[in-house]
Structure 1
């Protein structure tokens, strides 16, 4: 979802297009080039990432980059209250909207083996998922199925990761070796509908719980969400990076 920008600046080093390789002298329209000796290199890279936003939203077929609108996630399982009959929910077939509307405010490239770091903001991230629950909520049996809708506003994402390079066919390729994701949201709204044959009492009880405990629910989501996002984005990035050399986007110093 919300992590594509960190990888994309590396992915578009030299891009496979049709039956040939696009050179640094003839980049595709979605590439804004930056040069290693630019004194404002970080600003250039951030600008290049922002240039990519409309292409990320629709996808780039030439490099097998799918659209991130919506971004799909399989499942989150959450235990929200303790005890033998604690309230547990499962969110499945999650569709996440808004990830392409990011802005980056900070980028620190990897140096001397240290992790790269980036901070991005997403104004609004919306989630639509199938909802399943079990256990007791307050005093009500809360087992049921339905639809979960969530909106997370002013979402800040801190990304840290390590990369390495490897050589293949006389070309250098980048590999993402590890990634850590941390998220905070300033405001959030969560609700369910169509619960247990539209049971109004159970639906209102669940929605009241979600309204009053939004930040706590988000905290419970975080460990799984961080792990799933990191593994998913690393897999997608490295699948692309195995086919993409580095040098047409990140141009070498002038001689």
Structure 2
């Protein structure tokens, strides 16, 4: 009971704590959307390199590789895939091409942010189980899977709101936000889709010859993963850093 109470008190203290930005993130001017974009884009590579191994003051887990213990994805009404011990590599090599805020009508607060990212080579590995119709045949498989996506581009639109705690303003973002994806090449491999190894190899070959079709099949799962990663990563930064600590000057 004492241990549980101590844990709860520590969590509440952590939740209510206020911090400055990490020392490797420079404050930006908020005089115009373009100035803010230039400031953010210029420091993204450095910031990602620091977050690669995580950031304990904000309880941020290592970003590369990122480990997701479990992830359930309903790819369609009759197709469910479950992932365990999913490892994602390549996130810290992401290149940000756009970071444009949209302001409220009164021009004093950020309403949303449009972000464009490109990951040159994203690799996913883990243990899967699935049941449903896989292209043209019913399958029920379980085993190791790996996936490699080249030039994965992501266009995000994230709404921003203000959360006031103890008379201090903090940014807040929703768990769901707009995500549009594209890619140049996709390679996947699933073990044990079917018991027969020769047929299993043929199924993998079939999938890799139809990269676009395969991408559309797994796209809902990738979108869900991006939303999960994005929200968990960003919210841990936003929940502790007041609005006024993000910028050198707040727009008037």
What's the TM-score bracket when you normalise by the shorter of the two chains?
Answer: 0.7 to 0.9
TM-score for the superposition, normalised by structure 1: 0.74
Shift of 1:123: 0.4
Alpha carbons of 1:144 and 1:168: their partners in 2 closer, same or farther (altered >3 Å)?
closer
Give per-residue Cα distances to partners, 1:160-195, cap 9 Å, x unaligned: 021111333342210113511111111111112366
SS class of match (1:42): helix
RMSD over aligned Cα, in angstroms? Answer: 3.3
Which structure exhibits the higher relative contact order, with contacts defined as CA atoms closer than 8 Å and separated by 6 or more residues? Answer: 1
- Whose helix proportion is higher, 1 or 2? 2
Give per-residue Cα distances to partners, 1:193-216, cap 9 Å, x unaligned: 36667x421321221222122211
Contact kept, 8 Å, 2:18 with 2:242, in 1: the verdict is no
What residue is the counterpart of 1:92 in the other structure?
83
SS class of match (1:225): helix
Counterpart Cα distance in 1 of 2:135 and 2:239: 51
Contact kept, 8 Å, 1:128 with 1:150, in 2: the verdict is yes
Alpha carbons of 1:246 and 1:138: their partners in 2 closer, same or farther (altered >3 Å)?
closer
Counterpart Cα distance in 1 of 2:56 and 2:39: 25
Counterpart Cα distance in 2 of 1:211 and 1:103: 26
Counterpart Cα distance in 1 of 2:140 and 2:73: 17
Counterpart Cα distance in 2 of 1:141 and 1:154: 31
Contact kept, 8 Å, 2:140 with 2:193, in 1: the verdict is no
Counterpart Cα distance in 1 of 2:247 and 2:237: 17
Shift of 1:235: 4.8
What residue is the counterpart of 1:112 in the other structure?
104
Alpha carbons of 1:150 and 1:104: their partners in 2 closer, same or farther (altered >3 Å)?
same
TM-score for the superposition, normalised by structure 2: 0.75
Alpha carbons of 1:252 and 1:95: their partners in 2 closer, same or farther (altered >3 Å)?
same
When structure 1 is superposed on structure 2, of 170-179 and 181-190 the one drifting more is 170-179
SS class of match (2:37): helix
What residue is the counterpart of 2:108 in the other structure?
none
SS class of match (1:110): strand
What residue is the counterpart of 2:191 in the other structure?
193
SS class of match (2:183): strand
Trace 1:38-187 onto structure 2 (pairs within 5 A). 40-71=35-66, 72=68, 74-78=71-75, 90-93=81-84, 94-112=86-104, 115-134=112-131, 142-177=139-174, 179-187=177-185
Shift of 1:253: 5.9
Counterpart Cα distance in 2 of 1:140 and 1:119: 37
Contact kept, 8 Å, 1:179 with 1:234, in 2: the verdict is no
SS class of match (1:161): strand
Alpha carbons of 1:249 and 1:139: their partners in 2 closer, same or farther (altered >3 Å)?
closer
Alpha carbons of 1:175 and 1:253: their partners in 2 closer, same or farther (altered >3 Å)?
closer
Counterpart Cα distance in 1 of 2:133 and 2:168: 59
What residue is the counterpart of 2:201 in the other structure?
204
Counterpart Cα distance in 2 of 1:139 and 1:28: 51
The count of residues paired between Structure 1 and Structure 2 equals 227
Shift of 1:138: 8.6
